[in-house]
Structure 1
Amino acid sequence: MNETRSTTDVVALDPDGYAPVDHPGVTVPEDRRCWSASWPAYAPVDITPPELRAETLARHVPDWVADGCATPDLVRDWEQRQAVALVPFQLDGRGLPLNPQGRTGRTGRNLGKWGESAAADPIVVAGSGEQRRVLLITRDDIEQEAIPGGMCDPGETAPTTLSRELREETGVDLSDHQPVILGRDLVDDWRNTDRAWVASTSALYLLPTTVTAVGADDALDATWYPFGSLAQLEAAVSEAGRTLYAAHRPLLQRALDHLAK
């Protein structure tokens, strides 16, 4: 039987064999995505950026990196990480973490941790009816409109991350508000690989009216958009000459579904 071999798109690798961090990876057929599907020839591309490679980490570990380990086999607390994961994940026969969504076509990491990196996404909605608005930021890394939020700091709980990230990125302090937890899910983040991925706690904050919001920290801007439907939001974002971050569309739709109950 001829074995289907994975091949990368035509891309220039650097001298050490790494692909650009935004490389889409090798094509993974749907019937090969599950880890239980045999695929001996699977050869994902490594998208680890220079600052997270072994030779660099040996000299300096960036402040945003929780794992100073250059490779996942050096991590020693996988059992503990599995116990607190937002989304359950397994280890392979070598004791390495497996993305719960299956093969991605990419390996290495462009995140602060191996395995799951926990994040929190506060969805802030103000007003009702035709006056309903949702607060989005312009991310500085991809310059798209997105929900405020970010990675949990070591030892930080999701509620703390939700209010901290919102305050840091928009100046809006809702630490005295009790949000509605909408879900704990994997995020279709552009940095995800087979060995490192993002899972997030999404929560809904409801306000009677909009409040002043100013982009700061990782946000270039903070804007209130009409939020009667996802289509209306996307049209408003497009009219402003911007693009809605695709990975946050399901979270925003979940908020709309909750509001429609």
Structure 2
Amino acid sequence: MLELYKRLDQPTREETIRLGRLGVKIDGLGRPVNPHFVQDFGHKGLVQGKGMFYYWGPNHTVDPVVIGQENNTPKVLTIVRGDNGLLALPGGFIDLGELPLSAAIREAHEETGLDISQDPHETIYNGQVNDPRDTLHAWAETTAILFRHDGCPPVIAGDDARPGSAVWLPLAELVEASLHGAHAMIIAKAMQRYHELAQPTTR
């Protein structure tokens, strides 16, 4: 039974080959090693396996940062996660074959009811992020997209957001809040870019 468990708790040969081609470090059992933990490889205190993730290696997520203005104050669209009770952006996993932009629009609508499909947008971050679900062999890589929305219309929490938690919050309140994963870093990048875009251009 132990040997069967060991075989099940490691990638297939095809998965190992695919991850190797992506340049991911592979251990002696064919498992990918989290780049953030390479120096601690073999450390017994680290959670091994896929943990709560779907895939070995990188698990691709999307984080839409939707910013609107109310009374001349920029506000960020947020929800409270149903799994850990932390304030968060209305993001999630990218479905197989789905583009990050499509996933961002879908997640925002599922979790807040807001349509951001026509909003001006740009990618502000793409890469690995610290996530509380990270293990030695599976981790999150996100695409964060800034959306500039017209105003701050009413929103309704849905999907896996805590009921009644969707709300627009000013930066001052977000600075004091406990945010999920790397969302504080992502929001800071988004706000910086938002203010850059708001500056008048000089010729």
* TM-score bucket (shorter structure): 0.7 to 0.9
Q: Given that residues 182 and 203 in structure 1 are in contact (C-alpha distance below 8 angstroms), is that contact kept between their aligned partners in structure 2?
A: yes
* Alignment deviations for residues 38-57 of structure 1 (CA, whole Å, 9 cap, x no partner): xxxxxxxxxxxxxxx95xxx
Q: TM-score scaled by structure 1?
A: 0.63
How far apart are residue 78 of structure 1 and its match?
3.8
How far apart are residue 161 of structure 1 and its match?
0.9
How far apart are residue 133 of structure 1 and its match?
0.6
Matches within 5 A, 1:1-261: 70-74=8-12, 76-81=14-19, 89-102=24-37, 103=40, 105-108=46-49, 109-127=51-69, 130-220=72-162, 221-227=165-171, 231-235=172-176, 237=177, 243-261=178-196
Cα distance between partner residues in 2 of 1:209 and 1:75: 50
Gaps of 5+ in 2: 197-203
Structure 1 residue ranges (4+ consecutive) displaced by more than 4 angstroms after TM superposition: none
* Alignment deviations for residues 52-84 of structure 1 (CA, whole Å, 9 cap, x no partner): x95xxxxxxxxxxxxxx942332513444566x
Amino acid at match of 1:222: A
RMSD: 2.7
Tell me what 1:65 maps to. none
Cα distance between partner residues in 2 of 1:153 and 1:77: 18
Amino acid at match of 1:234: V
Q: How many residues align?
A: 185
Describe the shift of the 1:75–1:224 C-alpha distance in structure 2 as closer, same or farther (beyond 3 A). farther
Describe the shift of the 1:179–1:89 C-alpha distance in structure 2 as closer, same or farther (beyond 3 A). farther
How far apart are residue 246 of structure 1 and its match?
4.8
How far apart are residue 166 of structure 1 and its match?
0.8
How far apart are residue 187 of structure 1 and its match?
2.0
Cα distance between partner residues in 2 of 1:113 and 1:76: 13
Q: TM-score scaled by structure 2?
A: 0.80
The range that moved more, 198-207 or 172-181, is 172-181
Q: Alignment partner of 2:102: what SS?
A: helix
Amino acid at match of 2:110: E
* Alignment deviations for residues 163-214 of structure 1 (CA, whole Å, 9 cap, x no partner): 1111111111112334210111212111100101111000000013112211
More helix by share: 2
Tell me what 2:200 maps to. none
Cα distance between partner residues in 1 of 2:70 and 2:189: 16
How far apart are residue 259 of structure 1 and its match?
2.2
The range that moved more, 246-255 or 133-142, is 246-255
Gaps of 5+ in 1: 1-15, 17-52, 55-68, 238-242
Cα distance between partner residues in 1 of 2:10 and 2:71: 49
Cα distance between partner residues in 1 of 2:115 and 2:20: 32
The range that moved more, 245-254 or 158-167, is 245-254
Cα distance between partner residues in 1 of 2:150 and 2:119: 12
Describe the shift of the 1:161–1:224 C-alpha distance in structure 2 as closer, same or farther (beyond 3 A). same
Q: Alignment partner of 1:90: what SS?
A: coil
Amino acid at match of 2:151: T
